[in-house]
Amino acid sequence: MKFAPLNQTKLNLNHMDMTKCAAALFDFDGVVMDTESQYSIFWNEVGKKYHPEHEEFGKIIKGQTLNQIYGRYFAGMEKEQAEITEGLNRFEEQMSYEYIPGVVDFMRELHAHGVKIAIVTSSNEKKMANVYAVHPELKQLVDRILTAEMFARSKPAPDCFLLGAEVFGTVPENCVVFEDSFHGLEAGNAAGMTVVGLSTTNPKEAIAGKCALVIPDFTAFSYPEMMGLLLH
């Protein structure tokens, strides 16, 4: 199945640097693992308890780091922050970590063609340790895993994706970002990279104008389609 680009203005119109590698930069939750609906349950409960004025608190904080959430909604509330952190740690230990359909085969295909792969996530190392316990093979599927501890500003700032290009010694024009959240899509665009949106968290119509292409998962997406976006 061939995907037609939805938004020509969001295509990477700069030429690739053929002397440097191509890189695929994957967000984690909602892109590599089907976890976003689980987080929505947790954060909506937090919202009901501490911020009842926000009807869907889980949607508001999506894509933000824990430090960002605390800074914006729980500033100076050390006791509440500790309670939420403790609850979140317990929740993440019990979470189900299932791959988004097609992502494992797609990553293997990219590796076979020499594309560098990084997971670029707002999650911290403690959360990712829970993932590795369930999926130890994840580290072999990718070249680097960049977590919240590695960049000062999180999405929607472009820092995390720019770091992804830097660690591979490549340039933004050679990078494709795979994202599902509004903050993540904004960060990828701000980094000057080609952005592919996944409609796993938000409907296709809501994100179509923020990326070059929207896909439901990776089952019908391949290396040639990705390179076609970069070389357009």
pLDDT at 14: 56
pLDDT at 69: 93
| Rounded Cα gap, residues 131 and 180, in angstroms | 19
* Residue 9 reports pLDDT greater than 80: no
Mean pLDDT, residues 216-220? 98
pLDDT at 2: 47
DSSP 30-95: TTTB--HHHHHHHHHHHHHHH-TT-TTHHHHSTT--HHHHHHHHSTT-HHHHHHHHHHHHHHHHH-
Among residues of the chain, what percentage have pLDDT more than 90? 80
pLDDT tens digit sequence for 40-80 = 999 999 999 999 999 899 988 887 889 889 999 999 999 99
| pLDDT band at residue 13 using 50, 70 and 90 as cut-offs | very low
| pLDDT band at residue 232 using 50, 70 and 90 as cut-offs | confident
pLDDT at 154: 83
pLDDT tens digit sequence for 105-161 = 999 999 999 999 999 998 889 899 999 999 999 999 999 999 989 988 888 999 999
pLDDT at 133: 93
Please choose, from the candidates 130, 128, 153, 155, the residue with its C-alpha nearest in 3D space to the C-alpha of residue 63: 155
pLDDT at 107: 98
For the chain, what are the domain ranges?
8-35+97-231, 36-94
Mean pLDDT, residues 11-28? 84
pTM: 0.88
| Rounded Cα gap, residues 174 and 231, in angstroms | 9
pLDDT at 134: 93
pLDDT tens digit sequence for 75-94 = 999 999 999 999 999 999 89
* Residue 10 reports pLDDT greater than 90: no
**Domain at 8-35+97-231, CATH from 1.20.1250.20, 3.30.70.20, 3.40.50.1000, 3.40.50.1370:** 3.40.50.1000
Task: Report how far apart, in Å, the C-alpha atoms of 63 and of each of 29, 58, 182 are.
Answer: 9, 10, 8
Does residue 101 or residue 63 have the better pLDDT?
101
